[in-house]
Chain A
């Protein structure tokens, strides 16, 4: 089963209200709730629309899917893909795989924490960036690598971080 969001006008980055986002999520749930095993798909869609999965949204999903909240939260907390914290407009993943690590990824993390004023897993006060780490992203030849959204930045050095961030 694949879930299409094409006919939903998702403009969450352009100021749709919570009510509008919830209405979109409701549409997704109603289309999929009777299908076995659709909870994960619905959660994916809900995170796409809302940005993250706070407890209030999980309650909304649980009620509308007629599933226990403890089960919904069980799935959300099992998969690291799901986030219960608000995310920034852009997500930075510093690769901490072996190759990147030995080439100084830890220093990049520390430098980013200082520049952005947040710890790993947190979002900047202006909601622009979420700082995260990743296990190997499969770009060992480019180590140390940093992903911002879907862009891979190669051989990043601490002094090059400003230039990288400026692109967003």
Chain B
């Protein structure tokens, strides 16, 4: 790597050729304030807060955009720069909603922190219309355009990373809004509700539609309020209390939930093991049918990620037969709690209130879908994001870091390592293969430590071929068959794989899709971070540590799952399963023109 020399604030500095002035400064330990810039995600120079003075240049330079050159002489905090930054900031807040004390981003707001850093003490440009805009509430995401500073981070993730392209700049000048097509509400559009926009918003303009009140109210009611937590929550919840990303906090999280008054603390991981039994069986049925010359649809594609499912319904409505009919694990768990566990307790399904703690915003919309009901009751009543759980623990006065480690309740709390890895890209596929391969061959999946190495990691699209040899007699027609699998996370990768499926050229038999890049570990409901790639990696490694620490690592070995089939569902893919654990999908179309179902929440 060739290096160039420049001076910043009089200090001689070196930086790799091709880096920006901002990278050069930060790489040399010199702080430059910025606002719209987000490492590895967004760099369009929209906000100009990172401007610096370059000796010899007429104008101040946006340091996030300008490449560092040999011999440059840069000042990051000259008087001219400080004045310019302050003016830029004051213009930015001239029409910004300043009800900060009642904003959910209070003291967790990048705009607020910047004002403090720049020592802004007045608001000279405030006009007679201090802020104008609207609040648009969908089941998953709440937009408050009075708090938007037009930084366009959300536009980048929505258009370039997720290729959903529902958010773009509309209108011009003072009327500019980052919005769906003029006049449309998010809940009426092709939004997947992945929440990646929420995760990068520096202010309170984009937030998840919170269910905290729903849960507080239920906890005060006569209902039996049962909570379950997704695999990716336990490796991120610690960040809400100052711990490093990837610190496993399963035991404290369970203890906190118990202190908050939940009747039972169950593990969505149990339902992930259940999902493998159902989805694995479904794949084997489709596979066997195709081997026999039947017409089952392959590739089969996983359906655990509701953001991905809605993306498929909007963008590829004619390909829905490829989706596994399995509900996502937390809705399976909801159905099991209300229609099996309640009976065991001698309670009615309507006596139960199920809360899911998820790394996800799309799951808030998922529970509102007409398909996620049984016997007139929703499978799940509220979805809290990891961030919301952190807020509730704090609001409950619980000193999280002083909690003892506790265990999940039984019988819906025990899980295998296969369930843990549902939280990261490649995990659902690996978990399925650990079971499916063993059913076909009678032997353990032939990879070191049971990890299918080609599909482990954070690349956009990963693939592997599994050759079936020395199969069990009942699978003799699969002998020598090469099963081709693909794994993707993020909707841009999903789009690429689906374009092949649509064109009839997909070489795969089984595909895993997770809607968010990296999978649930960096879902739209996870704690925000300025170091997305590093955080994603740390959380992923924690997920695999959790898996490897479990005595059982294959879903079909979970004794509570076996007991559940004996006691209730009979066999995977059986009648009970089809009624309560499987679902169907809705063609929605690119403009939602194929359905009347909408996800707008009307304010009372």
Contact = CB atoms under 8 A, between A and B. Distances in A.
Contacts of B591: 59, 69
Given A70-B180, A71-B165, A77 B170 contact: yes
A73 B182 contact: yes
A7 to B, nearest CB: 31
B172 interface: yes
A63 B181 contact: no
B165 A78 contact: no
Contacts of A74: 168-170
Interface in A56-72: 58-59, 63, 68-71
A74 B155 CA distance: 12
A73 B590 contact: no
B590 A70 contact: no
A74 B178 CA distance: 9
Contacts of B590: 63, 69
B166 interface: yes
A165 interface: no
Contacts of A70: 165-168, 170, 179-181
A78 B168 CA distance: 12
Interface in B233-254: none
A78 B6 CA distance: 41
Nearest to B590: A63
Closest 7 CB pairs of A and B: A68-B165, A70-B168, A73-B181, A74-B168, A78-B172, A77-B171, A77-B170
Interface residues of B, number: 15
A69 B592 CA distance: 12
B171 A71 contact: no
Interface of A: 55, 58-59, 63, 68-71, 73-74, 77-79, 84
B172 A68 contact: no
Contacts of A73: 168, 170, 181-182
Nearest to B167: A70
A58 B590 CA distance: 13
Given A59-B591, A70-B165, A77 B182 contact: yes
A68 B166 CA distance: 7
* Chain B interface, DSSP helix/strand/loop, else mixed: loop
B260 to A, nearest CB: 40
Contacts of B159: 68, 71
Contacts of B166: 68, 70
B181 A78 contact: no
A116 B182 CA distance: 28
Interface string B119-161: 0000000000000000000000000000000000000000100
25 contacts: A55-B181, A59-B591, A63-B590, A68-B159, A68-B165, A68-B168, A69-B181, A70-B165, A70-B167, A70-B168, A70-B179, A70-B180, A70-B181, A71-B159, A71-B165, A71-B168, A73-B168, A73-B181, A74-B168, A74-B169, A77-B170, A77-B171, A77-B182, A78-B170, A79-B172
Interface string B359-380: 0000000000000000000000
A23 to B, nearest CB: 21
A77 B181 CA distance: 9
Q: Which of B166, B167, B171, B182 has the most A CB atoms < 10 Å from its CB?
A: B182
Contacts of A79: 172
B338 to A, nearest CB: 39
A59 B169 CA distance: 17
Nearest to A71: B168
Contacts of B169: 74, 78
Nearest to B166: A70
A74 B150 CA distance: 14
Contacts of A59: 591
Contacts of A69: 165, 181, 590-591
Nearest to B177: A77
B10 to A, nearest CB: 44
A78 B171 contact: yes
Contacts of B180: 70
Given A58-B181, A77-B171, A78-B172, 16 more contacts: A55-B181, A59-B591, A68-B159, A68-B166, A69-B165, A69-B590, A69-B591, A70-B165, A70-B166, A70-B180, A70-B181, A71-B168, A73-B170, A77-B170, A78-B169, A84-B182
Q: Which of A59, A77, A78 has the most B CB atoms < 10 Å from its CB?
A: A77
A115 B182 CA distance: 31
Nearest to A58: B181
A68 B169 CA distance: 12
B194 to A, nearest CB: 16
A63 B165 CA distance: 13
